[in-house]
Amino acid sequence: MRVKINGGTARDDRPSLCVTCRYATIVRGARLREEIVQCGRLSEGLNRITFAVRFCNGYVDRTHPTITEMEDTAWILRSDPRRNEVGFVKASRLKPADRYVLSDDEW
């Protein structure tokens, strides 16, 4: 039987969160130890990471689209009572006054 304990000792076999973080800049050299990781969420002077990160409350997965990227590809259901039509319209074709844009805080 396998028991999982949350908050226990961090596992060494997983890569750092920085590898998939949207705010990380990673520079690797030819050798295994040649790596520079800089975090765009930390203040200047403190943004260089010298260890494998296991938890970060500023982590944003770069494989998931941002709100802006989702809005650019979204289709909006609109109705036109004058023409008696209902259908989808690409968000980029709507006038700015007809769009309701979510801020990052609402997401």
Spans of all domains in the chain: 11-64, 67-98
* Whether 68 contacts 61, CB under 8 Å: no
Give the SS3 label for residue 80.
strand
Strand-pair category, 35-39 with 24-28: antiparallel
> Minimal CA–CA distance to 8: which of 50, 57, 55?
55
- pTM for the whole thing? 0.56
Residue 95, token pair as written in the block: 């006038």
Question: pLDDT tens per residue, the chain (107 residues)?
Answer: 787 777 666 667 788 899 999 999 999 999 988 899 999 988 777 788 888 898 999 899 999 988 778 877 777 777 777 777 777 777 777 777 766 665 655 44
